[in-house]
Amino acid sequence: MERTRDRWAQWLLERRHGGDEEQLERLLPDLDEFRERVIANAAIEPGDVLLDVGTGDGLIAFAALEHVGPQGRVVFSDISTDLLEECERVAEELGVLDRCEFVEASADALPFDDELVDVVTTRSVLIYLMDKEPAVREFHRVLRPGGRLSIFEPINSFGREENLRRYYGLDVTPVQDLAEKIMTRWRAPAEHPLTNFDERDLLRWVRDAGFKQTRMDYRAEQRIERLTMNADTFLNSSGNPLDPTPKEEMVEILEPEEQVEFEAFVRKTIASQPVVQRWLAGVFLRAVK
């Protein structure tokens, strides 16, 4: 009997793109940008020891191997045993296992000695911690003097109210009452790990942790684009590991007859390849100890 993956692995390997490989291909340009900019800001040198916190499927860590060279080492760290096992499998296939280490750990409790590594990288990791500042202090603690921190974090507090006016960017005015029933759950107070911080908090935490040099590149945009995914992909994909899919939301919140009505409208809307509107923001941050 096949073992069920944990929610982090389920999301990265399937729910992120609804099991639709074509949708995953459409996500790759953004993933490429995250990887390239985090790597560039890390200023990795041959022989470095790099710790990738919340490594996921190894997007950053595997790219870092090319930069640390044959004398360097990359530590893949994550709370997901399943994802670490997947990364180890890929590393073995690539023939780089001897330069990799795999450690199960939370970002706010790293099981490493002080001043152990030259570089710490993360991508969309702090956003899943309710209390984020301890993780930033941990990043500082494990870095050697002169070590570099390079992270990317989405800032979901930006445009939060604007995003809640549409259902995942869709105009569902004819069934707005049903959409409101679903979206009410996201109108809770801002004390939620996905939305309880902004770019100013990041700067303050990095400063207070003891980093001496910090540079932050902040980008915010209103994105208007045509939806290209099909209805099944839309209904069965999730924006992050903490969120249900649209289909799961409907089943949980709506009455059976409401589910039928709302899903039918969503499917009809998506079939027309509608224009969707989203408000997005994110931060690339580099700091030196």
Segment 257-284 shows an average pLDDT of 94
What pLDDT score does 4 carry? 77
Residue with tokens 């549409």: 166
What pLDDT score does 189 carry? 52
Q: Is the pLDDT of residue 3 over 70?
A: no
Domain that holds residue 220: 7-288
Q: Is residue 231 part of a domain?
A: yes
Q: What is the DSSP string of 18-47?
A: TT-HHHHHHHHHHHHHHHHHHHHHHT--TT
pTM of the model as a whole:
0.93
What pLDDT score does 188 carry? 55
Reported as a single tens digit per residue, the pLDDT across 131-179 is 999 999 999 999 999 999 999 999 998 887 787 788 999 999 999 999 9
Q: Is residue 11 part of a domain?
A: yes
Q: 2 falls in which pLDDT band (50, 70, 90)?
A: low
Q: Is the pLDDT of residue 24 over 90?
A: no
What pLDDT score does 190 carry? 56
Reported as a single tens digit per residue, the pLDDT across 94-129 is 999 999 999 999 999 999 999 999 999 999 999 999
CATH code of the domain in which 34 resides? 3.40.50.150
Q: Is residue 184 part of a domain?
A: yes
Closest CA to 126 of 68, 199, 184, 65: 199
**What's the DSSP call for residue 172?**
-
What pLDDT score does 228 carry? 87
Q: Is residue 66 part of a domain?
A: yes
Q: How buried is 84 (Cβ within 10 angstroms: 0-12 exposed, 13-18 middle, 19+ buried)?
A: buried
Reported as a single tens digit per residue, the pLDDT across 225-262 is 898 899 999 999 998 898 899 999 999 999 999 999 99
> What is the chain's mean pLDDT, rounded?
93
Q: What's the CA gap between 279 and 259, in Å, rounded?
A: 27
| Number of domains forming the structure of the chain | 1
Q: Is the pLDDT of residue 20 over 90?
A: no
Share of the chain above pLDDT 70, in %: 97
What are the CA-CA distances from residue 29 to residues 39, 161, 188, 288 (Å)? Answer: 15, 27, 32, 28
Q: Is residue 2 part of a domain?
A: no
What pLDDT score does 1 carry? 46
Q: What's the CA gap between 139 and 120, in Å, rounded?
A: 7
Lowest mean pLDDT among 64-73, 108-117, 217-226, 255-264: 217-226
Q: Is residue 91 part of a domain?
A: yes
Segment 268-273 shows an average pLDDT of 93
Q: Is residue 63 part of a domain?
A: yes
Q: How buried is 227 (Cβ within 10 angstroms: 0-12 exposed, 13-18 middle, 19+ buried)?
A: middle
Q: What's the CA gap between 122 and 140, in Å, rounded?
A: 13
Share of the chain above pLDDT 90, in %: 76
3-state secondary structure of 132: coil
